[in-house]
Chain A
Amino acid sequence: MENSPLLEIIDLKKSFPVSSGFFSRTHEFVRAVDGINFSLIAGETLGLVGESGCGKSTVARLALNLDTPDSGRILFKGDNIFTLKNDALKKFRRSVQIIFQDPFSSLNPRKKVGSIIGEPLLIHKLFARRDIPEKVFMLMELVGLRREYYDRYPHEFSSGQRQRIGIARALSLTPEIIIADEPVSALDVSIQAQTINLLMDLQQQFRLTYLFISHDLSVVRHISTRVAVMYLGKIVELAPNARLYEQPLHPYTEALLSAVPVPDPGVKKKEVILNGDPPSPIGQRRGCLFACRCPLAESACFEIEPVFTEKAPAHWAACHKR
């Protein structure tokens, strides 16, 4: 039984001009997001993985309506978010919140913790000004920050605590969807585990839906319901968590999984070490984008672009060979 999607991303494209040469004329475009489709089902955590520059964060910015796409639509409960106006847009902004990667640059250093967490409430006029501190105390308790931190500044906190401030701010408007863009990448292992547990507890408590963006495959495996793998602006594989990790179809997913170091010296895994770096996302495209690094590639792979199809129930991949 398929639940109805909360957020639907339909053939989304976004490219950025690259300025180069004399007078910075625009010659070429980076195709950051190049025709992707997926949906976010209420209550799930969709993990979005890929290497740097593959377009993960651009997807996040688009899904938040912080950037407009070149083409394609994103439907939130059936409405295209890019055509929303006034109250409807404000309501959407309340429903979708973000947690940023860098807990140092994403908090205003001149503001106290209380006003950082309380500001969304003030802007959206959800509470009278005098009731806001009480609500902020509640949020702080929820994420494990002590009440007396209310009047402190961000620089007085460790990175793990700052990330908690960011989480409290994201929760303040009781959103339905939280987009977490590498939320634990900047944290040390012991603090990372605390933060992951906190995110999972909050999801249960408030029935949140997460789009969890990360390059760390073991974290994504731990937290996600389904996982999407991105490569150069395209989704190359999308499958339920267990299936993606146990029976990956796309050779790129296989290579990614085998590149993750396993913290057990007894494990001898089969290594698929890829040659070369990911090609530049700039310029013309032809065939399968992974073909030049793929161990299975044939001549057809360089010519014809593979279609993203359902290869097994709920298991989608774009590959000629599998």
Chain B
Amino acid sequence: MKYMPMLLEVDNLHTQLHLAQGSASVVDHVSFSLGSSRTLALVGESGCGKTMTAYSILRLLPSPPATIAGGRILFNGKNLLDLAEPDMRQIRGDKISMIFQEPLTSLNPVFKVGSQIAEVLQVHKKISKKDALEIACQLLHDVGIPSPDQRLNDYPHQLSGGMRQRVMIAMAIACKPQLLIADEPTTALDVTVQAQILALLLELKQQHDMALLLITHDLGIVAESATDVAVMYAGRIVEYTDVETLFEQPRNPYTLGLLNSLPRPGLVRLQPIRGMIPSIFELPKGCKFCTRCDRAFDRCSQQEPELINIAPAGTKTHFVRCWLYQDDSPGI
């Protein structure tokens, strides 16, 4: 059988940040893969490395202070880390595009939204400004903006938060990308608008047969939108499986802790995770979660567990990084 590369395979990605306080691994040997038309959610609390992972894939991190210290990012079998910057620029916005969290700061305030969308098209497809604007108008229509021919001439500040995010989405899908990275696309929005934007994203994903890498801290959004989930903590993936398994049989104590922290109907008292999120410069030895984990034992504070598949052979994979599930590993 011929080997078919996945759309995106991130293999042992290692990103470091060199700051005055010292160097830290913000993305520490992260591996995952994303097939076409799947949705992978990267979840975790602030500072866990989810955005850093996304920026590393698109090579958007400024160097210094950040360096990609190792690993491979295979997109259609080709390692993005080997590409020269001009070749990478060809891919950004075309084959892989990104939606950012804060639509007001990521749109240029001094250009009309129409020409900002047209610019993407002009860069990647050699077409005239006039044709590009026509496509931009159609795109605005596709993302559900009323009277798009007039909105083309609006500046970002004239639009509401939800409308701006729709413009961002129109820009991102302009070149029909194979992979769309959405970094907290609805965090700045109200819930009713959030529901609209999520529905739109999923609809466009189906229409254009895109893969979606969804970065979020909201487990509700994960449950409703994702097919696969990777939970991150302190720059590492601690649990990685399909969405049903994650919510039905969460195994890593951190994942469990997150789920138990959520208010649910009928719950009298929340069960939070104790302690604080450690600074990336002061991570404990061994398992990075051991200082907050109720089930930690001696070994956890000495040696860091590997991310291993605990699912029985022949079923869907379920990767967990925890000593509770590594009885057969060397050292016992």
Contacts and interface: CB of A to CB of B under 8 A. Distances in A.
Interface of A: 51-52, 158, 160-161, 188-194, 196-197, 200, 215, 217-219, 221-223, 245, 255-256, 258-267, 271, 273-275, 277-278
A255 B224 contact: no
A160 B276 contact: yes
Contacts, number: 118
B223 A189 contact: no
Contacts of B257: 190
A200 B263 CA distance: 13
Contacts of A158: 276-277
Interface string B154-182: 00000011110000000000000000000
A162 to B, nearest CB: 11
Contact of B258 (A189, A196, A219): A189
Contact of B272 (A190, A264, A271, A273): A190
B217 A188 contact: yes
23 contacts: A51-B190, A158-B277, A190-B45, A190-B258, A190-B277, A191-B276, A192-B272, A194-B273, A200-B269, A219-B263, A221-B263, A221-B265, A222-B267, A245-B265, A256-B192, A262-B224, A263-B259, A265-B244, A266-B244, A271-B195, A273-B192, A277-B161, A277-B193
Nearest to A186: B46
Interface of B: 45-46, 160-163, 190-196, 198-199, 217-224, 243-244, 247-248, 257-265, 267, 269-274, 276-277
A196 B268 CA distance: 11
Contacts of B265: 221, 245
Given A188-B46, A190-B273, A263-B262, A52 B190 contact: yes
A145 to B, nearest CB: 12
Given A51-B190, A221-B265, A277-B162, A263 B220 contact: yes
Contact of A194 (B244, B267, B272): B272
B191 A264 contact: no
B272 A277 contact: no
Nearest to A194: B272
A253 to B, nearest CB: 11
Given A190-B272, A193-B272, A263-B222, A218 B243 contact: no
A56 to B, nearest CB: 12
Given A191-B276, A260-B220, A263-B219, A273 B190 contact: no
A149 B308 CA distance: 41
A310 B27 CA distance: 55
Contacts of B190: 51-52, 215, 278
Contact of A262 (B45, B161, B223, B277): B223
A51 B191 CA distance: 7
A194 B263 CA distance: 11
Contact of B45 (A188, A221, A265, A273): A188
Contacts of A261: 194-195, 198, 218, 220-221, 223-224
Contacts of B161: 277
A189 B196 contact: no
Contacts of A277: 160-163, 193
A189 B199 contact: no
B191 A265 contact: no
Most buried by B among A160, A221, A263, A264: A263
Contacts of B269: 197, 200
A210 to B, nearest CB: 15
A167 to B, nearest CB: 15
B162 A222 contact: no
Contacts of A193: 260-263, 270-273
Given A263-B223, A265-B224, A277-B160, 19 more contacts: A52-B190, A188-B45, A188-B46, A189-B258, A189-B261, A193-B270, A193-B271, A193-B272, A193-B273, A197-B272, A223-B263, A259-B195, A263-B247, A264-B247, A265-B244, A273-B199, A274-B195, A275-B196, A277-B193
A186 to B, nearest CB: 10
Contacts of B271: 193
A190 B48 CA distance: 13
Contacts of A274: 192, 195-196
B263 A218 contact: yes
A192 B261 CA distance: 8
Contacts of A192: 261, 272
A190 B191 CA distance: 21
Most chain A CB atoms below 10 A, which of B217, B248, B264: B264
Contacts of A262: 220, 223-224
Contacts of B247: 263-266
A222 B324 CA distance: 32
Nearest to B219: A263
Contacts of B244: 265-266
A218 B264 contact: yes
Contacts of A160: 276
B250 to A, nearest CB: 11
Contacts of B45: 188-190
Specify which of B46, B267, B272 lies most central, judged by the most chain A CB atoms within 10 Å of its CB: B272
Contact of B243 (A188, A190, A221, A265): A265
A259 B270 CA distance: 23
B104 to A, nearest CB: 13
A196 B263 contact: yes
Contacts of A217: 191
Contacts of B46: 188
A194 B261 CA distance: 8
Nearest to B262: A263
9 residue pairs, one from A and one from B, having the closest CB atoms: A261-B220, A193-B272, A222-B263, A193-B261, A259-B195, A190-B273, A188-B45, A51-B190, A193-B270
Contacts of B199: 271, 273
Q: Looking at B191, B196, B247, B257, which has the most chain A CB atoms within 10 Å of its CB?
A: B191
A191 B196 contact: no
Contacts of A271: 195, 199
